[in-house]
Amino acid sequence: MAGLAELRDRLRDIVQARMATDPAHDLAHLDRVWVNVQAIANDQNDMRVLLAASYLHDLVNLAKDDPNRHLASRRSAEGSESILKNLGFAVSEIQNTQHAIVAHSYSARVPPETDEACILRDADRLDALGAIGIARTFSVAGALDRPLYDPSDPFAEQRPLNDLQFSIDHWKVKLLKLPDDMLTEAGKEIAHTRTARMIRFLEDFADEIGSTLPRNWANR
């Protein structure tokens, strides 16, 4: 573990100097992904690969509304190679780390082919759920200058969902569906727990704006 602790410190220093960040993808996000990885992984997994992938997966970060966002994970993987070589990673470790980085992305649509890639993908998506997920949603909404909800139809009962316009719509379009998309049993269990917190928040949110959360939101 001492080796991992030293490697983590070196990776944090590297990404802090090189990453372009947004409110949802900063050093704190990488720290949380590493925490999530440790909650999901077991003794059979390559923790060096997982640690490196946790801290390098957003090395190139493009805004949610950038048309090239689907390329960010590939660019991050490419950018990680020289870093990993300098850190003494073997060729096989670099390849496994790069695959995990590429496959973690929701928009890249690359199927994970290793246990480590599955774990990183779940760990990254867990950070979009629960209390942190709630905070990230509204932080991103502020950065993109998007309203929290449609005041005339907050939960899209009479209109199409539009998560490019309304922040809360993104929950129904994507976030509340994430538990069923998890690839590991541990990730799925944590995701369901965190999603339940979000539903409780939505119920309070609906009450405070004089509305009622539709049943199909609570049931996803």
Over residues 189-215, the pLDDT tens digits come to 999 999 999 999 999 999 999 999 999
> Average pLDDT, stretch 167-188?
95
Question: Hey, where are the domains in the chain?
Answer: 2-113, 130-218
Task: Compute the half-sphere exposure of residue 88: CA atoms within 13 Å on the CB side of its CA.
Answer: 6
2-113 CATH, one of 3.10.310.30, 1.10.10.10, 1.10.3720.10, 1.10.3210.50: 1.10.3210.50
> Average pLDDT, stretch 44-51?
96
- Partnered with residue 25 across adjacent β-strands are 22
Backbone angles phi, psi at 83, to 5 degrees: -65, -45
* pTM of this structure: 0.89
Q: How confident is the model at residue 219 (pLDDT cuts 50, 70, 90)?
A: confident
Query: In one letter, which amino acid is 172?
Result: K
Over residues 106-165, the pLDDT tens digits come to 776 788 999 999 999 999 999 999 999 999 999 888 888 899 999 999 999 999 999 999
Q: How confident is the model at residue 23 (pLDDT cuts 50, 70, 90)?
A: low
How does the average pLDDT of the chain come out, rounded?
Answer: 90
> Average pLDDT, stretch 83-89?
94
Judge if 2-113 and 130-218 fold alike in CATH terms. Answer: yes
Query: In one letter, which amino acid is 2?
Result: A
pLDDT at 166 over 90: yes
Q: Which of the 8 DSSP states describes residue 156? A: -
Instruction: Note the pLDDT of residue 62.
Output: 65
Cα 22 to Cα 78: distance, rounded to the nearest angstrom: 21
> Average pLDDT, stretch 168-172?
96
Instruction: Note the pLDDT of residue 193.
Output: 97
Q: Determine contact, residues 101/85, Cβ cutoff 8 Å.
A: no
Over residues 50-80, the pLDDT tens digits come to 999 999 998 877 656 555 566 777 888 888 8
Q: Determine contact, residues 55/30, Cβ cutoff 8 Å.
A: yes
Q: How confident is the model at residue 25 (pLDDT cuts 50, 70, 90)?
A: confident
Fold classification of 130-218 (topology level): Hypothetical protein af1432 (1.10.3210)
Instruction: Note the pLDDT of residue 1.
Output: 42
Instruction: Note the pLDDT of residue 76.
Output: 85
Query: In one letter, which amino acid is 48?
Result: R
